[in-house]
Amino acid sequence: MSRKPFIAGNWKMNMTAKTGAELIEKLKPLVKDADCDVALCVPAILIPEMVKAAEGSNIAIGAENVHWAPSGAYTGEISAEMLKEYGVKYVIVGHSERRQYFGETDESVNMRAQAALKAGLTPIICVGEMLEERETGKTNKVLTRQLTVGLGGIDDITKCVIAYEPVWAIGTGKTATDEQAEETIAFIRKKIGELFCPMCAEKVIIQYGGSMNAGNCKGLMAQPNIDGGLIGGASLKTDFATIVNYNK
Ligand code: 13P
């Protein structure tokens, strides 16, 4: 079964309205003939400007987080409806930085993903192990917990994107090898087959994220189970277009 590859950027807490719009202007002609889906997930305050900048192009704009409630007394949070109103298509949930620094749990990740789906947004649900967990052979156990709880109660898993981001590879320049990423993503796909159905597992898009760049994207994208990338640092420059055009 063929899955359409999906390359997304995660700007994290970087860029301004000016530098972001400038980068999108540069990227537009460079990515226009991409064979994959393309998105940039940007800081919430930049969303209106970046949606405007990307208008008429094949670059979709995503958010970096979403709250689970439709509205209410949640100071500082943003609802799925608010994102939707501004033309957002995707939203990252459960990024390891949110889990590490902002106390997010598999349960809250699940609630956020469900809220995104309910509003018609595509959640990019991040999972991944820490270095110590990999070194002590706990990777599959951690992923099983993150997937079982994080995806619990989701009706249609094919409406979600999964991003496998080993925490030790994020922002470290230390990418998982093609084989490590393939083996772990194959495990994730198998687990999704068990939790949902084998047909759904064949359809669901699973990205790799963690120091993916213009140099290593070809090897990673050549792996049968890797359907795309979630790109941090390299999405802040025109290198992002090289990754999007990994097959050219
Ligand atoms: P880097 O590509 O900077 O390692 O970040 C990956 C990431 O966290 C994307 O969500």
**What CATH number should be reported for the domain holding residue 144?**
3.20.20.70
When the pLDDT of each residue in the chain is averaged and rounded to a whole number, the result is 97
**216 touches ligand 1 (CB under 6 Å):** no
Residue 123 inside a domain? The answer is yes
Residue 183 inside a domain? The answer is yes
Confidence of residue 1 (pLDDT cuts 50, 70, 90): low
What is the tens place of the pLDDT at every residue in 54-113?
A: 999 999 999 999 999 999 999 999 999 999 999 999 999 999 999 999 999 999 999 999
Which DSSP category does 112 fall into?
H
Please tell me the pTM assigned to this model. Answer: 0.98
What is the tens place of the pLDDT at every residue in 133-172?
A: 999 999 999 999 999 999 999 999 999 999 999 999 998 9
Residue 1 inside a domain? The answer is no
104, 129, 165, 182: the catalytic one is 165
**CB-facing half-sphere around the CA of 105: CA atoms within 13 A:** 3
Q: Could you list the residue range(s) of the whole structural domain that residue 193 is in?
A: 6-244
Q: Say whether 165 is catalytic.
A: yes
Cα 61 to chain centroid distance, Å, stands at 12
Note whether 223 and 235 are within 8 A (CB): no
| Per-residue pLDDT, 184 | 98
CA separation for the pair 96, 175 (Å, rounded): 16
Atom of ligand 1 nearest to the CA of 126: 10
Q: Say whether 95 is catalytic.
A: yes
Residue 74 inside a domain? The answer is yes
